[in-house]
Amino acid sequence: MAERIKISLCYASGPNPLLRALEVDAGTTIGQAIELSGMLQDAPEINLVTMPVGIYGKKKTLDTVVQARDRVEIYRPLIVDPKNARRRRAKKDTAPVAPLPTTDAGEALTQMAAGAAVGPEAK
């Protein structure tokens, strides 16, 4: 009898990821493990021809043999290029900042105590 190993499979399909714990024969490939898991029936949008797969965040091919305690992952296509998304966030962060008042706080308190108007309305 062949040795059995435990692995897990993950497909993050939005808010409800599919997670499976599976026990397979030693020598099982990623493609075979995905088929055995039943994920292809539960998530018909999975297309192993176009969607990359990996183990613990590192891309692998479907014929890669799994090892004990591996987490096989099926990756969705990117919606936005990560570099472009970062550029957009950085551009937002560099928006002009309102200038600080030129009057220091101590001087403003002194003027306020004397009854003088302080700030933009003082002009």
Question: What pLDDT digit, counting tens, does each position of 69-111 carry?
Answer: 999 999 988 777 888 888 888 887 776 666 666 656 666 666 6
CATH of 4-74, one of 3.20.20.80, 3.40.309.10, 3.40.50.1010, 3.10.20.30: 3.10.20.30
Which amino acid would we find at residue 120?
P
DSSP state of 12: -
pTM of the model: 0.63
Provide the pLDDT for residue 41: 92
Distance in angstroms (rounded) separating the CA atoms of residues 102 and 111? 14
Mean per-residue pLDDT, 25-40: 94
Percent of the chain with pLDDT over 70: 76
